[in-house]
Amino acid sequence: MVAKTIEDFRLNGHLAVVTGASRGLGEGCALALAGAGADLVLIGRNSVDLTAVAAKIRDLGRSAEVLAIDVTKSEPLAVALGELPPFEIFVNNAGTNQPQPFLEVDETTYDRLMDLNLRAAFFAAQAAARSMVRCARGGTIINMSSQAGHRALRDRSVYSASKFGLEGLTKAMAFELAEYNIRVNAVAPTFVETPLTKSGLEQREFRQYVEDKIRIPRLGRISDVAAAVLFLASPASSMITGTSLLVDGGWTIH
């Protein structure tokens, strides 16, 4: 038996597609994949921000294509993915949140979060999987979940519902796609300082709540999540499918 080596983490010759790639976790994941040798297709709504990320990737010596697409529009996204060269890595990252107490959740907020976090993620993953099956080269799909898909979090009932759903989808996809040599896993981060979480973490009481829950004495970093995605994208994880990799600093162990 040959042990895994650093070369098992290399992605030379692979094409990776990342949704929600214009900033935050999506940008971090894209840069980590490029650093390991992958070429990138960046998907998001803001072409200016995507172009800036693409420039950083090209500075790493890799190619980057920008697709300014709203992932909630499943048909245009499916067409765009179907027209790409064969890709083996799909990071299903686009998502959002709007914290509200359960008793105050309105239908507009519910629909917006579920539409992006679960419905759009479902059909984006389906389109990516169809492309992988058609090309018959196998692949890996990584759904960006959350510790909220494992534990109840204050004022996040809709977000939790969407992420629990995404966790279930990950397992169902892994079960059905294994015969095509397509692995499907999730990454479930704790609170990470990103543009999406910035306003909440600036509130002293909420930040204290978060810091008290994370056993490792710091908040999560984008690089922590990107490293988990890189592992699941690489040949080093070739026997892992249908699981959720918690990057939560120990939040969910108690």
Catalytic residues: 159
Residues 242 and 170 sit within 8 Å (Cβ to Cβ): yes
Q: Which of 145, 45, 148, 128 is nearest to 93 (CA)?
A: 145
**31, two tokens:** 């840069």
